[in-house]
Structure 1
Amino acid sequence: MNGSKNISLGLLLLLTLGFSSVFAQTTKVKGVVTDKTGTPLPFASVFVPGTSFGIATDAAGRYELQFDSPKDSVRFSLMGYKTVVIRVQRGSEQVRNVTLESGAKNLSEVVIKRKRERYRNKDNPAVELIRLVIDNKSKNRMEHYDYANYNQYEKLEFALSNVSEKISNNRFTRKYKFVFDNQDTTKMAGRSLLPMYLEEKLADVYYRRDPEKKKTIITADKKVSFENYIDNRGLSAYLNHIYQDVDIYDNNMMLFTNQFLSPIADAGPTFYRYYIADTIKTEDSTKLIVLEFYPRNKADRLLEGKMYITLDGKYAIQKADMTANKEINLNFIRDFHLYMDFEKTPDGRYFMNKNTLMADFGLFKGKSGLYGERTVSLKNMVINKPMPEKFYEGSSYVENEEEAQKPESFWEQNRHDTLTTAESKVYANIDSLQHMKSFRRTMDIATLLLAGWKSVGPKFEVGPVNTFYNFNPVEGFRLRLGGRTTPKFNKSIYLEGYGAYGFKDQKWKYYFGGSYAFNHKSIYDWPVRAVKASYQHDTKIPGQELQFVQEDNFLLSFKRGNNDKWLYNDIYRVYYLHELYNHSSFQVGFKHWQQTPAGTLSYYKGTSVPDSVKKITTSELSLELRWAPHEQFYQGKNFRIPIPNKYPIFTLRAIAGVKGLFNSGYNYQNVSLNIYKMVYLSQLGYSEVVVEGGYVFGHIPYPLLTIHRANQTYAYQLESYNLMNFLEFVSDRYAGINIDHNFNGFIFNKIPLLKKLKLREVAAIKVLYGGLSKGNDPRLDPSKIQFSNYSDGVPITYTLGNTPYVEGSVGIANIFKLLRLDLVKRFTYLDNPLIANWGIRGRVRFDF
């Protein structure tokens, strides 16, 4: 349902799928790769020389390679071992087991061989070693130092992998030959990579332990730009969210928005098996133990690989090479590797000076796909040299965009790694591509299909497409046409509007809004300092609140139960939003609201002789305070959506209605608090938790009280009550909690069929307490606007008593890797008329 959430990602997937092709498979070779002792060798490269066909062995050293090339040889290679090339018989299926000989000159001796016996932690030297590593974690982290500063280089790359000749030589793509010729076959064994996105950053980073503060000052920033079609910073933010910073010393490492338990986590010995493989000496005579680790349960979301541990009494990690086992439940990620290198400091400790995360994305095994790589390199580490106290104040992330734009000569001298030939050409190639008319037409169509907006010149867009047509019981068929300006119209000014017409009520609806940014940036570009004014004359369902979805989205036309009680609203609104660098913000505003009942909804006073009330008019002053520490955004040209992380979001709102101001009829105050938190539970998945409460001061008609968020669509909504009817419950004080938990396949992964389908289990519980004071209860005062009734006199609206409203759900997520279906059950207030006790709700969500 989140229509705009993944526009940038969608365009990348479109490119990936657009260039995908199916390879014929005529030769099949499989077997096991081992060393001389018979120990399986994981992560060995198996590929056909001179082609793009290749794979890596799994954790048990197994491989299975299929190809249709006329080549008749296969090459096996692994760092530290001699490369082996074997002959194969073309066009047949064969088993070839291969033994690799050690080629490492610095191998001292093999001290322990893995024995084929039942694994146990007790009296296991590998477990004793890992416990020493765990006990010394705090001494081997940067946080051990009072102060530290260093120079950091980041490189983020995305490339199409294994693009077939049929695609690159197609008559539609032949004109882009200069792009297809820029392929890299050296970076990933068996993969031919076509770079499409590259981003580089140089920064000076300063760390202080007490009070803890990490300040990053960007000195240079360079990235491939798709600015005409995709918000470049929004794309960058989303890709960096997928490729987050990782630290093996954390108990949990975030990889591709999923938590993986670190092999040196405090609970590591409970979930991992450890084996001492080798003892080696480095060139500076440092002794290291090579420790292999594997999941105890292959279905759990865990890692496997090797760690190199120092024997100098500090038990630090000197190097690590890890991946996920092939049997866990991941979407679109066919394979990934995380490499970490650590450098010795003058005091004999180690800090991570380089890490590289490489991933192969795709819909199908062995086909074309998308390759992503992020490298972070640290240099010039300085320990315990503090900066002045004032230096650490202000934002943790500082970048002057104009000053960060550096010439290529600067990058050649200052980047930590040399770009490959293919990488060095990607900036110029993509720039040339965007100047081609045929490419611009293709991207315009893709933007229309995925984002729903069509450019009308560089300064204006028409859309969104999914609101052009919908229907409801009040308006009947409804047509709508809207548009908005782009940043090229004016960087500080943003305008938007629409017009709509209902064929049943024969009324026009319209909206116009304008914003001005005082910091001369987009009004969606953090940190916002902008004023916005708008006027809307349109319909609305009382109690329906949607997140990031247009209310007249066509898919929301389909609703369950009775849905003919609406409002005609006339809303004038003006507010000022000011965001601070510490991710707090305040918003002050004014709202003049005139609501008129529509459809079968009516406002009336009295009981025996109803006195009809045609409309309610209010004028409100508002203040909103929000704090979202370390918040990131997925940001488009004309929208932004927060990216969930482990930090809470607090939102405090205060509203004051002023009687007599612009014919307002009521005095009242409304205070509410909302707390959102993503709770990560490692192997047990994660929960989205929302706690909220509110209180209304003053005596006012029930349409101005809190009408609890109901949902009568078939879409599952996190912060709404999915089996509550519109207008069913009203309160002037309330408190509630919503918990939505995704187990990430923790249970289903242990059931063979469900594991193969990569289904994931979800569960939710929603509890709402509320009440209505005597002064606001219309049932006790006929002079107040009365609760609405059905045509037969049965009440529609109720209050919450001592019993809370409770609903829960269990469901299956990741159906076709996108769809979630929940079976929802309502547990209380089952005697209310025309309610649903059970229901099935769906939600579309993209997860790795």
Structure 2
Amino acid sequence: MAQSLITGKVVDMETGKAIAGATVTNLNSREATSTDSLGIFRLKRPQSSNNFLFRALGYKNLRTPAVLDSLPDSIAWIIELDPDENAIETITITHRGKYSNRNNKAVELIDLVIRHKHQNRLTGKDSLQFQQYDKLKFGFVDPKPTIRKGILDLKFLFQNIDTLSQPGKKLLAMYQEESNAHVYGKRNPSKFKKQIYSQKKTEFDQRYINNPNIQEFMNYMFQQVDVYDESIYLLNKQFLSPIADNGKLYYKYYVVDTIFNKEGYFIKLDFEPRNTQDLLFSGTLEISMDGSYAVKQANLKLSRNANVNWIKEAEIKFHYRKDASGVMLSDTTKTFFTLGVGKSETLFAERFSINDSYKLNAAFPTGVFQGAPVEVLTTADEVVPERPVALNIYENKTYENIETLNNKKSFKSMLAVGYLIAQGYYNLGMFELGPLEYLYSRNNIEGNRFRLGGRTTQLLTDKAYFEGYLAYGSDDARFKYFLKSAVTLNGKSVVNFPAHYLEASVQNDILEPGMQISYLKGDSFFRSIRSNRPTKWFDTRGYQLQHVIEFGNHVSVTSGFTHMDRQTVGDLRLESSADPNQLLTNISTNEVQVDLRWAPYEKFYYRNLTRNTIKEKHPVFNLKYTHSLDGFWNSNYKYEKLVASASKRFFLNQLGFADVRLVGGKIWGTLPYPLLEIPNLRQKDDRHKIDFDMMNSMEFVADQYVKFSIDHELQGFLFNKIPLIKKLNLREVWGAQMFYGKLSDRNNPYLSDEVVHFDRDADGQLLTYVLDRAPYWEGTVGIDNILNVLKVEYVKRLTYEDAPRARGDRFRVSININF
């Protein structure tokens, strides 16, 4: 192998010092590599005389021919690069004694930077266009030799250990993604568009790995960032920028260098956190002194003591370059992380972005801002990426290595086991069985309940899907079933946004009063052992037909028809409020529904033919209207329902983030209370779901109501300030849930003789009440990140504590793994 490579060293022409990270490109073959920490590079020996290009940040490009016979085998080919910037003329060294913001020149300069941020950041431009190249990698750091000898037989991977990308580290990439995009932005009105016209990425067996999920997750956790952002979002956390509006409260600043070069006059600042436990950086800034106070360069390193799990090293480098008009524009951004348990580094993630070909105040292409803000063109996978910096020999090999790995039977077996544990489904190719936690449960009607379910996968088709289950109870000795199917109406996937499909469901099972048709209806093993598990049931037969259409602006419309026939079962008694001896044993309803949903900038995690919303800062709104069809299919109930809901995650900089949900509704009509609002009913998962942990099943009912919840994670903001405690990296959590509702006289069994009385438990106590004096509240306080994995919460009922069967408080322990 050594005989087929040429070896050389790139040094500074003036100082003779090695230049790490310089790019070496064979212009004839287009093969390229980078120098390591010693300035040394190795490249495939050409077959004939070739031209080479040497590039490094801060140096002039060098293009030189190389004659094959003159290329040495040893490190004797020395390449000298001429610095592109003049030497520093003035250096100011400051003594870091007692720190104060008063009369501090560095703080005065940061004030000027903050004051001019709006005109220097990209989003502050009236209109701009540029090209963006983006490369994202993830893999192992210095993988152990024992791995290659295991049952997976990974010897071929270890022939691709990258020693060039990050000087001093050995990297084995397992995921790599490249893309080219056109980016457009304007300020008034504020609009953004990114069109990805070329992309290439590694992919795994789609039976077990949803490849778009990897791409979405990596891009979510390691987002493209800018030093001008108030908070820099990484690893699902917010790290305060050193030039944030309130940065002076959290950072210390020092003037260290004054720089004069052909680009102008710059002042170099060092900054460091006042509290090393907070989510802050340390590093350097170079500020332009031409009156714009724009950032020329920024190097941000995560504080070693920051309250972040498993991060061993984190560094972000920003570089900005003046255009012909003197405007400072983002040039390159590089993010590098290493992760691991204990003191060792195990995993790495790297993102490298280059922006070029800027156009300011140019006319936009017609209709460019239509559709989703980030759009991947249908031909993107067919276009070879344009690389402003060539891949090195190891990066080039990554795509081929992952393809080889996918064909190994041992690797497929490992994925199957991991999928069963993580997702609860056993994959059979075109069909998968599960979920695992629903195989067995127990309730007071069925006794031991056994259930076998499953769903189709995209290997069968992504134009339709089927899911269903068959269940059997040992006590009632009968079978129950559920089946749902959807078929696309636009010839595309039934799940990928924007979707358009027709969906039908049928269910024959016992359901809680108030519950709608659902696949995951609450019969999981863990639900069946909860203290507030349901004890009252309807034997239900339900049919539903829905039409779903989504639009590119993230507005969707769901319309449908639902018929449900409910028979009382067990000890559920619905006594007439006019005559206690008369029982209501059957409730049949027919409903037509229209649900309008708006989720601006929504992104998803996909799992085969299902998807979940990624929680970001953007809100989600729903407005649902329901109208009954009485006098049809055994139904004689006339009513209308209207429900409005909204949810949003608020990012609060150093105070962490808070999830807020608000739901309000009203029901018109005279109805038995199981058809009204029962607040602690666990419907199918949605963004607006509010769980009342201390509320008993069927405890409250209303026909006009409002629900509110807030869950706040402070990310250690308070604990980080307490001596000794701060070393434990604990994090504070708190939350509150509220329900307030009223029951109209026509639906109140104590005032109306047209409805049914509330049922009682085995001891004769009422199960259901009407809120009569104040909202129902419960609150939560807790400590998260105990030993990096545990969350302990204290949950207390704050109102209606004197109600029969009321539980005052409890402790809740859960596993919560997060950075």
Same-fold status (TM-score > 0.5): yes
Aligned to 1:333: 311
- Is the aligned partner of 1:404 residue 2:380? yes
Q: How big is each residue's C-alpha offset from its partner over 1:516-546, in whole Å with a ceiling of 9 and x where there is no partner?
A: 0123333221111111101011222336799
CA distance in 1, matches of 2:474, 2:802: 37
Aligned to 2:390: 418
CA distance in 2, matches of 1:556, 1:665: 34
CA distance in 2, matches of 1:608, 1:207: 69
Letter in 1 for 2:657: Y
**Equivalent position to 1:356, from 321, 326, 334:** 334
CA distance in 2, matches of 1:454, 1:119: 60
- Is the aligned partner of 1:210 residue 2:188? yes
Q: How big is each residue's C-alpha offset from its partner over 1:532-573, in whole Å with a ceiling of 9 and x where there is no partner?
A: 101011222336799996622222221115742122221101
CA distance in 1, matches of 2:152, 2:663: 54
How much does 1:245 deviate? 2.1
Mapped contact 1:564–1:599 kept (Cα < 8 A): no
Structure 2 matches for 1:522-533, cutoff 5 A?
A: 522-533=493-504
Mapped contact 1:544–1:726 kept (Cα < 8 A): no
Mapped contact 1:543–1:726 kept (Cα < 8 A): no
Aligned to 1:830: 801
Mapped contact 2:670–2:755 kept (Cα < 8 A): no
Mapped contact 1:491–1:520 kept (Cα < 8 A): no
- Is the aligned partner of 1:454 residue 2:426? yes
SS at match of 2:750: helix
How much does 1:472 deviate? 1.9
> Compared with structure 1, are the counterparts of its residues 844 and 632 closer, same or farther at alpha carbon in structure 2 (3 Å cutoff)?
farther
> Compared with structure 1, are the counterparts of its residues 399 and 117 closer, same or farther at alpha carbon in structure 2 (3 Å cutoff)?
closer
Mapped contact 2:593–2:624 kept (Cα < 8 A): yes
Aligned to 1:383: 360
Mapped contact 2:440–2:450 kept (Cα < 8 A): yes
Letter in 2 for 1:215: K
Letter in 2 for 1:672: V
How much does 1:710 deviate? 5.2
Mapped contact 2:660–2:711 kept (Cα < 8 A): yes
Aligned to 1:181: 159
How much does 1:388 deviate? 5.0
Aligned to 1:66: none
Mapped contact 2:578–2:754 kept (Cα < 8 A): no
Letter in 2 for 1:177: K
**Equivalent position to 1:139, from 103, 112, 119:** 119
CA distance in 2, matches of 1:534, 1:673: 25
SS at match of 1:706: coil
Q: How big is each residue's C-alpha offset from its partner over 1:578-619, in whole Å with a ceiling of 9 and x where there is no partner?
A: 111111111001110112233332222147642122221001
- Is the aligned partner of 1:243 residue 2:222? yes
SS at match of 2:212: helix
SS at match of 2:765: coil
How much does 1:667 deviate? 0.9
Structure 2 matches for 1:636-647, cutoff 5 A?
A: 636-647=607-618
Structure 2 matches for 1:67-216, cutoff 5 A?
A: 106-170=86-150, 172-174=151-153, 176-216=154-194
SS at match of 1:775: helix
**Equivalent position to 1:436, from 405, 408, 411:** 408
Mapped contact 2:152–2:411 kept (Cα < 8 A): no
CA distance in 1, matches of 2:267, 2:276: 25
Mapped contact 1:321–1:337 kept (Cα < 8 A): yes
**Equivalent position to 1:483, from 454, 461, 469:** 454
CA distance in 2, matches of 1:545, 1:840: 30
**Equivalent position to 1:580, from 551, 558, 562:** 551
- Is the aligned partner of 1:302 residue 2:273? no
Letter in 2 for 1:378: N
CA distance in 2, matches of 1:539, 1:397: 44
- Is the aligned partner of 1:672 residue 2:643? yes
**Equivalent position to 1:268, from 234, 240, 247:** 247
Q: How big is each residue's C-alpha offset from its partner over 1:295-351, in whole Å with a ceiling of 9 and x where there is no partner?
A: 112222111111111121111101111021111111222221111111112221111
SS at match of 2:565: strand
CA distance in 1, matches of 2:788, 2:547: 40
Q: Which runs of 5+ in 1 are unaligned?
A: 1-43, 46-53, 56-78, 81-102
CA distance in 2, matches of 1:314, 1:606: 77
> Compared with structure 1, are the counterparts of its residues 596 and 189 closer, same or farther at alpha carbon in structure 2 (3 Å cutoff)?
farther
How much does 1:225 deviate? 0.9
Q: How big is each residue's C-alpha offset from its partner over 1:2-50, in whole Å with a ceiling of 9 and x where there is no partner?
A: xxxxxxxxxxxxxxxxxxxxxxxxxxxxxxxxxxxxxxxxxx99xxxxx
How much does 1:280 deviate? 2.4
SS at match of 2:432: strand
TM-score normalised to structure 1 length: 0.83
Structure 2 matches for 1:688-703, cutoff 5 A?
A: 688-703=659-674
How much does 1:826 deviate? 0.8
SS at match of 1:108: coil
Structure 2 matches for 1:12-51, cutoff 5 A?
A: none
Aligned to 2:302: 324
How much does 1:142 deviate? 2.2
- Is the aligned partner of 1:682 residue 2:658? no
Q: How big is each residue's C-alpha offset from its partner over 1:363-386, in whole Å with a ceiling of 9 and x where there is no partner?
A: 22214x211111121111111111
**Equivalent position to 1:709, from 676, 680, 694:** 680
Letter in 1 for 2:351: R
Aligned to 2:4: none
> Compared with structure 1, are the counterparts of its residues 646 and 836 closer, same or farther at alpha carbon in structure 2 (3 Å cutoff)?
same
How much does 1:104 deviate? 11
How much does 1:727 deviate? 0.3
How much does 1:741 deviate? 0.8
Letter in 2 for 1:260: F
**Equivalent position to 1:311, from 289, 298, 316:** 289
Structure 2 matches for 1:5-16, cutoff 5 A?
A: none
Q: Which runs of 5+ in 2 are unaligned?
A: 1-19, 22-35, 38-56, 59-82
- Is the aligned partner of 1:392 residue 2:392? no
Aligned to 1:50: none
How much does 1:748 deviate? 1.5
Letter in 2 for 1:183: I
Letter in 1 for 2:418: A
> Compared with structure 1, are the counterparts of its residues 613 and 731 closer, same or farther at alpha carbon in structure 2 (3 Å cutoff)?
same
TM-score normalised to structure 2 length: 0.86
Letter in 2 for 1:342: Y
Mapped contact 2:265–2:288 kept (Cα < 8 A): yes
Aligned to 1:818: 789
**Equivalent position to 2:440, from 469, 474, 478:** 469
SS at match of 2:531: coil
Give the length in aligned residue pairs: 739
Aligned to 2:507: 536
Q: Which moved more, 1:835-844 or 1:325-334?
A: 835-844
Over the matched positions of the two proteins, sequence identity in percent amounts to: 36
CA distance in 2, matches of 1:601, 1:310: 76
How much does 1:736 deviate? 2.4
> Compared with structure 1, are the counterparts of its residues 562 and 162 closer, same or farther at alpha carbon in structure 2 (3 Å cutoff)?
closer
Note the aligned Cα RMSD (angstroms). Answer: 2.5
Mapped contact 1:711–1:726 kept (Cα < 8 A): no
Q: How big is each residue's C-alpha offset from its partner over 1:211-266, in whole Å with a ceiling of 9 and x where there is no partner?
A: 22112222111111112321111221111110112121122221211111111111
> Compared with structure 1, are the counterparts of its residues 726 and 332 closer, same or farther at alpha carbon in structure 2 (3 Å cutoff)?
same
